[in-house]
Amino acid sequence: MKRPPEELAEKLLAVSDQLSGTDLDISVDDIAKMADVPRATLYYYFSGKEDLISFFLSDKLHRASVAIGKAVAGEGNVVERLENTLAALLKVMMEHPALCTEMPGAIKEAAKYTEVVNEAERVMLAPFRELLIEGKATGELVIEDANTTAIALMGAVNMVAMFQLVQTGTIDLENTTAVLIPQLIQGVVPR
Amino acid sequence: MKRPPEELAEKLLAVSDQLSGTDLDISVDDIAKMADVPRATLYYYFSGKEDLISFFLSDKLHRASVAIGKAVAGEGNVVERLENTLAALLKVMMEHPALCTEMPGAIKEAAKYTEVVNEAERVMLAPFRELLIEGKATGELVIEDANTTAIALMGAVNMVAMFQLVQTGTIDLENTTAVLIPQLIQGVVPR
DNA sequence: TCCGGGAATAGACTCGTGTCTAAAGTTGTA
DNA sequence: TACAACTTTAGACACGAGTCTATTCCCGGA
């Protein structure tokens, strides 16, 4: 990918914002028409459709990383920060549905989406893993395998978000945050 | 879908077994060649590619439902059965990778894959929901919203399974079961 | 044995979509 | 001005999904 000039990038990202969820389904031709750009131009800057999609997802990940980073590095003890980060992830998925609907597909074909998957690992997974490791070190958390647990947490949030998006078209942020996050943190057996 | 005769069904399912993960990517023509069946015949019995893919996934779900059903209805208290069911889900995903790699995509396009998604809900989600409800009733579990929690558990297992499949080509069943399941049940904060 | 009718299949065709090629336009520099 | 290098673009191409038509195959009943 030959990074596109500012003007083109803006047009494309504007289009990608209108495209919630269905990202991977749209045709290059439609993207070109919506952005009012010749199809061939897209192939000049992007090595193919995947590259173009990656560009979209990458942008969303970039925006997401700000919100998540803030939650991770914010005030509070480890548990509070973990809660905030989970909440931030859910919010990010509401604002950028493609992050939750398309990411599993990208992970599945990690070979084709190397870049994006690496970014996603950095933005959506690593923060959890590090919080878990920190919490384990201080004794605030009980973690067997930080990596596996981080993946599990992300997967849980992802699946819940996707179900809601598909069924209702949006995410009930307030209620879901209040219900899901304590459940993940506390587990399902009584204390 | 005009249900296909036994012989054809067998050939197709044999092919689908070889196709781990990449299911949705293969062309109808290739499927036809692999199964040694004329392409026209496939369109005679199936209304299209989605219908064919659904047939594959449906078969895997059917096989999965046996193992999961056994775990749900087996011996032990609610917590033990929940553990067994989570373990069964993980095992099923190892044996039928398509169930974990393709299902998120099918859920995303639930409109196109109504049948399969309904089946998946019945086979992979409902069992958890019911166990959670039962456990909540007996006081063995503390559940705020059984549906959301069931989706979260399934999502957690799904994501962990998919990561392992993509990264290592298989699932380390023993170790992952031992690590992941207690973590999901117990939560992350000390008791 | 012949025949009618449904099942199965070959093969051609349309249409949409990703990708490439080659030409035209533009810009910077000697 | 001349030229090279880069940008931009139109148009062609290839391939796969899906459809349709016209055979061929097969079976049960007269």
Residue in A141, A152, A162 closest to B160 by CB: A152
Lowest mean pLDDT among A22-36, A75-89, A131-145: A22-36
Identify whether the C-beta of residue B76 lies closer than 8 Å to the C-beta of residue B87.
no
pLDDT in tens, B122-145: 999 999 999 999 999 999 999 999
Residues A98, B164: Cα–Cα separation, whole Å: 23
Q: Is B76 on the interface with A (CB under 8 A)?
A: no
pLDDT of residue B130: 98
Lowest mean pLDDT among A11-20, A133-142, B134-143: A11-20
pLDDT of residue B19: 86
Q: H helices within B36-189, ranges in order?
A: 39-45, 49-73, 78-95, 97-101, 103-108, 114-120, 126-138, 146-168, 173-186
pLDDT of residue A87: 98
Nearest chain B residue to A21 by CA distance is: B108
pLDDT of residue B23: 65
Dihedral sign for Cα atoms in the order A123, B185, A170, A88: negative
Dihedral sign for Cα atoms in the order A143, B124, A110, B178: positive
Q: How far is the CA of B48 from the C1' of D1 (A)?
A: 63
Q: How far is CA B159 from CA A38, A69, A104, B169, in A?
A: 38, 22, 8, 14
Q: How far is the CA of A167 from the C1' of D10 (A)?
A: 43
Identify whether the C-beta of residue A171 lies closer than 8 Å to the C-beta of residue A165.
yes
pLDDT in tens, A90-104: 999 999 999 999 999
Which residues of chain B lie closer than 8 angstroms to A25, CB-CB? 109
pLDDT in tens, B44-71: 999 999 999 999 999 999 999 999 999 9
The residues near A17 (Cβ < 8 Å, ≥ 6 apart) are none
pTM of the predicted protein model: 0.95
Which residues of chain A lie closer than 8 angstroms to B191, CB-CB? 142, 191
pLDDT of residue B22: 61
Q: How far is the CA of A62 from the C1' of D8 (A)?
A: 29
Report, in ranges, which bases of strand C sit under 7 Å from a protein C-beta.
Answer: 7-11, 16-22
pLDDT in tens, B77-125: 999 999 999 999 999 999 999 999 999 999 999 999 999 999 999 999 9
Residues A15, B51: Cα–Cα separation, whole Å: 31
The domains of chain B, with CATH numbers, are 49-186 (1.10.357.10)
Q: Is the CB of B148 under 7 A from strand D?
A: no
Residue in A139, A151, A191 closest to B191 by CB: A191
Q: Is the CB of A1 under 7 A from strand D?
A: no
pLDDT in tens, B151-175: 999 999 999 999 999 999 999 999 9
Indicate whether A144 pLDDT > 90. Answer: yes
Mean pLDDT of A49-78: 96
Q: Is the CB of B112 under 7 A from strand D?
A: no
